[in-house]
Structure 1
Amino acid sequence: MVRIACAQMAMSANMEENYQKSLDYVRRAATAGAGIICFPEGQLSQYIAQYAGLSGDDFAISRTHPYIQGFCQACREHHIVGVFSLALREKDRHIYSDMLVIDETGQLVTTAAKNHIVRAPHFYEQDYFTPGNDGFLVAPTRAGRIGLIVCFDRHYPESFRSLALQGADVIITAVANETSEPRDVFQWEMRIPAFQNSLYTVMINRTGREGMMDFCGESLVAGPDGSVVALAGTGEELLLADLDFAKAAALRQEKQYLSLRRPGICALP
């Protein structure tokens, strides 16, 4: 049994404040007995992509930034696996919307970039982010095999199936969902793949008002039977849930949704 903590945060315009709040959530999660803590998309800054064509200099950091070193130290100190969501500027000067997994020893295990970048009202992400090309990645940790999906990528069912076939125990999706979006549909986007792949799925959202956007919170943990294991409210919250990976593995064997697949009959490009 592994306890997961979801840090449903409101972000200020001050990156240092968001960093310190993130560290506080790590401490609170460890005190609550969690083995994993996860954060919403772009946890260090307000959501700049709601505006078209601004500079990315104020919200993207490098891999060598002291904040990442601080997250590594916090995970090591509190003996917890951290799933952080950051905008990283790489050596090629491109910015990626990344999820980073840092294990309980403070080592960076995996970095996964958002693969599909949207451009729509309130979501002008193509003005800022470069799509990743590494596909969907699973981070092996002592707290389980963690599959990673960044926000918009969850709209593609192949993302969940790919991670399930790689042996993920839990799939964590960092998002930035606002109140005007179809919140019931977003729940089903977690619950249906949890059911279809007989594993746990997690959606961790922002909350609060930022510019033109109201983020709705309502972070979710779905069980391998498609049930809602835990659901947050609309404000700031540390959502906790216990994940029974052995029970999920038994259900996968019983349901056989994965083992009976016949990929050769699917006419997919």
Structure 2
Amino acid sequence: MTSPSPIRAAALQLGPASATIATTAARILDLIDAAARDKVTLAVLPELALTPYFAAAVRQDLTPFTSVPENKQAVEAIAERAAGHGMAIVIPFAEQTNEGLFNAMVFYDDKGACQGTFRKIHIPGKVAPDPDKPLNILEKRYFTPGDLPFAAFDMGAVKAGGLICYDRRFPESYRSLSLNGADLICVGYNTPVMPGGTLKGARRASELAICGGAYSTATHAIAAGKAGVEGGTRFIGGSFICGPDGAILTRAKSQGDEVVAADLDMAAQARLRERWDFATNRRPDAYAPALTA
């Protein structure tokens, strides 16, 4: 059996969004070019990569964030630029459909072919704001819960699956990706430092969730976040890549746009999976809630 080849991968961290989808997309194209110079062949962008985090306020018009033509143009340009470098890429954005607005990410392989979409399953926050809170999370006001499975998409070198922000807090998300054959976990997030919290504490909580999921499934994870202060709110950034043993391989050094790259030893991942033997000994029949009389 041929040993899996290593992969040069990156989280493409973003600072606060620019004024328009087009200008933010232009920054992303620059990041892709920088990643290519670093020999990256697979990259992951943060949650809602093309826009500000708009779900913290009551808004009458979402068009600046959800415009189908503008998002389509930006996604296609990003995928095309990545493919020109032989790079697979995961692009999260606000996906407006006839069924509703989804917090989504699309997976493009290294040839520029779209392999599929993941839509955020776990939607946090409230519908109506609490006037006594200085910061509200109103994703339930805007986003429809994801209606697609935790699938693994063929990205060329690996099969990759996605999680979006709050999804990373649920162990079931990682288990589902593992059961569906994911070799790599791609996480995008826009996580604010909540009132009363600290940047250090919020980053540690995010790292614990993602590294724990990686460890429990023996799977590399790429975590790409929004950084800096946007709309008066600080976002945690702290993008990183961790190995299948849960150890962090590399972290972002800045609060802005940055290529956070590492070599993923897929052969070592395969050996670890063989040793831990989850596939043989997993008991999905026992994971359902107990029935009560």
Same fold (TM over 0.5): yes
User: In the alignment, which residue of structure 2 is the partner of 1:264?
Assistant: 285
**Which among 235, 241, 244 is matched to residue 215 of structure 1?**
235
CA distance in 1, matches of 2:73, 2:59: 27
Give the 4+ runs in structure 1 shifted more than 3 A: none
Pick aligned residue for 1:170 from 159, 167, 184: 184
- What code does the residue aligned with 2:148 have? D
1:37 aligns to 2:43 (yes or no):
yes
Residue equivalent to 1:4: 9
Distance (Å, rounded) in 2 between the aligned partners of 1:39 and 1:46: 14
The one-letter amino acid paired with 1:75 is: A
- Whole-Å Cα distance in 1 between the matches of residues 115 and 164 of structure 2? 17
Q: Secondary structure at the match of 2:103?
A: strand
Task: Give the match for residue 130 of structure 2.
Answer: none
Give the match for residue 77 of structure 1.
Answer: 84
Distance in 1, Cα, partners of 2:213 & 2:111: 31
Of 160, 168, 171 in structure 2, the residue corresponding to residue 146 of structure 1 is 160
User: Superposed, which structure 2 residues align to 1:232-251 within 5 Å?
Assistant: 232-236=252-256, 237-251=258-272
Percent pairwise identity: 28
In structure 2, C-alpha distance between the alignment counterparts of 1:157 and 1:231, rounded to whole Å: 23
**TM-score, normalised via structure 1 length:** 0.93
1:83-232 matches, cutoff 5 A: 83-92=90-99, 94-120=100-126, 121-180=135-194, 182-232=202-252
Query: Is 1:55 matched up with 2:61?
Result: yes
Query: Which structure has the bigger radius of gyration?
Result: 2
Give yes or no for contact 1:50–1:213 (8 Å, CA) kept in 2: no
1:59 Cα deviation after fit: 0.2
Name the SS of the counterpart of 1:123 in structure 2: coil
Measured after TM superposition, the shift of residue 53 of structure 1 is 4.1
Structure 2 gaps of 5+ residues are: 1-5, 127-134
Measure, in 1, the Cα distance between the counterparts of 2:260 and 2:79: 22
Give the counterpart letter for 1:97 in structure 2.
N
Take 1:267 and 1:71, find their aligned partners in 2: how far apart are those partners?
40
Shift of 1:148: 0.6
Deviation at 1:223, TM superposition (A): 0.8
Give the 3-state SS of the residue equivalent to 2:46 in structure 1: coil
Q: How far apart, CA to CA, are the structure 1 residues paired with 2:243 and 2:36?
A: 22
Pair 1:13 & 2:19 matched? yes
Does structure 1 retain, via aligned residues, the 8 Å contact 2:41–2:87? yes
Distance change (3 Å), C-alpha of 1:84 and 1:41: same
Q: CA deviation at 1:119?
A: 1.8
The answer as to whether partners of 2:8 and 2:42 remain within 8 angstroms in 1 is yes
Structure 1 counterpart of 2:75? 68
Q: Is contact 2:20-2:64 (8 Å) kept? A: no
Q: Deviations over 1:73-95 (max 9, x none)?
A: 21221111011111111134x21
| 8 Å Cα contact 2:95-2:104 kept in structure 1 | yes
Q: CA deviation at 1:34?
A: 0.6
Letter in 1 for 2:84: E
Residue aligned with 2:121, SS: coil
Partners of 1:204 and 1:72 lie apart in 2 by: 17
How far apart are the structure 1 equivalents of 2:123 and 2:221? Answer: 22
Measure the CA separation in 1 of the matches of 2:9 and 2:67: 26
Once residues 239 and 229 of structure 2 are traced to their aligned partners in structure 1, the CA distance between those partners, rounded to angstroms, is: 16
- Report how far residue 234 of structure 1 moved: 4.2
Displacement of 1:115: 1.1
Deviation of residue 141 (structure 1)? 1.5
CA contact (8 A) 2:75 2:91 kept: no
8 Å CA contact 1:88–1:98 kept in 2: the answer is: yes
CA–CA separation in structure 1 for the residues paired with 2:186 and 2:241: 9
In structure 2, C-alpha distance between the alignment counterparts of 1:257 and 1:137, rounded to whole Å:
18
The CA distance in 2 between the partners of 1:52 and 1:257, in whole Å, is: 45
Query: How far did 1:267 drift?
Result: 4.0
Q: Equivalents in 2 of 1:212, 1:252: separation in Å?
A: 44
